[in-house]
Amino acid sequence: MEGAYTLSTGGKIIYMILVLMLAGFALFILFIPSYGFPFLKLFSLLVMGICVVVTLNLFKLKIEISEYSITYSRLFSTKELPRVEIKGVRIEAKRLILESLSNPSANITINNYSSFEQAEQLIVWLRETFPDLNEKDYKQELTEILQDDRLGLSQEERNATLQRAKYASTVYNVMGGAMFFTLFAHKNSELKAIILL
C-alpha cells in the first residue's frame, strides 16, 4: 500500500478553532493595559507565535508510505524508516509507534493518529503488514506469569489464580467508583463520609 495521509479536514477545523481561541486570548492580553506587568505583553506575543507554529504544522503533517519506507513529516522534523528496518508497530489509544529493529532513536511516533484521513485503513494495513508488539509483549508476559510457581503448582492453578485476581481487581474498582459517587452525593455530611470510609 502506497500513499500519503494528511490531517483530516475535521481535525484541521478542530485544531484551528482551538488556535483561534488561543490567539483571541493572546490579542486580548496584548491590548489590555498592563498595569506595570510588561511580561504580559511578551507572554501574549509568545502565545501568538505558538499559534502560528501550530497552524503551520497542521498543514505540514503527513504520513507517506512508499514501497521502501514510511515517512512522518512535521514542521520542524521528518523521520523516515525503511520498511525492512521496522520491527513492529505499537498501536495505543492516542498514538502509534513504529519501532526500528536496530536504532530506538529512529522510532516513529505519531500522536493523535486518528485525526488523519483514512486512519482506520492505515491501522488495518499496519496490523496486517507488521507484527503487533503490544500483543507480542502481552503473550510473552502471560507465558512468564503462567510459569511462575508462586501462583500455583500446575498451570490450571495459575490460571485460576489469575482469574481470581482479575475478579478481585474488578470488584475493588467498582467499589471505589461507587464510594466516590456516594461521597460526592453526600459531600455536606461528614458523618456519612466517615461511615463510608
pLDDT at 90: 93
Residue 35 clears pLDDT 80, i.e. is over it? no
Architecture per CATH, 3-129: Roll (2.30)
Contacts of 94 (CB under 8 A, 6+ apart): 111, 112, 113, 114
CA distance 172 to 176: 6
Bridge partners, residue 176, by sequence: none
Task: Give ∠ CA 110-114-117 in degrees, rounded to 5.
Answer: 100
Residue 76 clears pLDDT 80, i.e. is over it? yes
pLDDT at 191: 62
User: Percentage of the chain with pLDDT > 70?
Assistant: 93
When pLDDT is averaged across residues 25-44 and rounded to a whole number, the result is 82
CA distance 4 to 71: 9
pLDDT at 36: 67
Weakest-pLDDT range from 36-45, 72-81, 168-177:
36-45
pLDDT at 189: 67
